[in-house]
Amino acid sequence: MPDQRLDARGLVLGKFLPPHLGHKYLVDFALGYVRDLTVVVGTLASEPIPGSLRHRWMRDAFPDARVLHLDEALPQAPAGPHDQRFWDLWRTALARLCPDPDFIFASESYGHRLAREMGARFVAVDPDRELVPISATAIRADPMAGWDWILPQARPHFLKRVAIVGPESTGKTVLARRLAAHYGTVHMAEYARGFLAQHDNRCDDIALIGTIARAQAAGEDAVARQARRLLIADTDTLTTVLWCRHFFGHCPDWIVRLADARAHDLYLVLDLAPYAPDPQRFHPREETRRQFRDDLVAGLAARRRRWTLIGGDWDQRYAAACHEIDRLLADPSPPVRSGD
């Protein structure tokens, strides 16, 4: 295809609160119109999503544009039709980031006035929202319903995260896989299983625990980019802390701090089940596994995490887990965001 772009400078301004596919259409349109595009992410400290996150998401999504962050406390609307000070403030701020733009691209009506103030031409982009019928306001009101409209780079911010935890031999791995399939999403496998298999199923060096803790967290944050509304995690960092104390009598402070900082929206604590031997299972005694369960529950309660105990046979556990997750997805409370 021939390159129809003008050898000119364009400007796109927005809050991107959050960025969605309408914003993507706007920026892609502008990138197809001019060769030099600046995208300004204008944010306020009081807004519900940190400006630094929105800037990062837009920068990652549009590497062919110059994406800049404007975090000055500027007025958000003119006080009236004769409020020239409003336009002077914005013109001055934007001119520092994009001097002398040739074109202003926007879906909102303010684009006309802004273009005139900056000596540029205005190009309206889908002002009636016919091509991409979504708004950031609608997404903020119900991120689960608007999931497919959210810019992929921003979706992990809105994920609900569920951790499957509990003693050995309680069906955590099978349940995590089954739940991920049911909800059409992905799960983070327990990193320790494959890792310890490479070390003869032994954990005789505390440095191994550090590797497991970092890898479990990094893996979960990586797979979150592929998740749809929900991420299922097979184990969590608090479980790693308890295992470290079991093997070595103590746990390094940095792993404890990691467990304190990394929260899930819901913890499904699997109750005891008949023990099945496995090369990586070390607690055949029911008393020991029960103590592990109680320590885990105490740790979750101390951190004020949302948890529930899941028991019964395998099908009952699955049904109870689905019930709790359905309640979580229907809960309008914002998700935890330890993976941002």
Q: Are residues 15 and 118 in the same domain?
A: yes
Same domain, 15 and 45: yes
The whole-angstrom separation of Cα 8 and Cα 289 is 68
On whether the CB atoms of residues 184 and 228 are closer than 8 A, the answer is yes
pTM: 0.88
The answer to whether 35 and 6 are in contact (CB under 8 A) is yes
pLDDT, one tens digit per residue, over 75-112 is 999 988 889 999 999 999 999 999 999 999 999 989 99
Tens digits of residue pLDDT in 97-156: 999 999 999 999 899 999 999 999 999 999 999 999 999 999 999 999 999 999 999 999
Tell me, what's the pLDDT at 280?
Answer: 66
Task: Specify whether 189 is located in the same domain as 267.
Answer: yes
253: amino acid identity, one letter: D
pLDDT at 37 over 70: yes
The Cα 240–Cα 195 span in angstroms is: 13
Kind and range of the H or E element at 232?
Answer: strand 230-234
Q: Which domain holds residue 280?
A: 159-330
- Taking CA atoms, 269 is separated from 52, 157, 234, in Å, by 35, 24, 11
Is 298 contained in some domain?
A: yes
Query: Residue 339 domain-assigned?
Result: no
Whether the Cβ atoms of residue 269 and residue 165 lie closer than 8 Å to each other: yes
Confidence category of residue 201, pLDDT binned at 50, 70, 90: confident
Mean pLDDT check: name the lowest of 33-42, 46-55, 201-210.
Answer: 201-210
* End position of a domain, from candidates 95, 111, 145: 145
Concatenating the DSSP letter of every residue in 183-206 gives: TT-EEE--HHHHHHHTTTT----H
Task: Please state, in angstroms and rounded to a whole number, the distance separating the CA atoms of residues 202 and 280.
Answer: 8
* 263 vs 196, higher pLDDT: 263
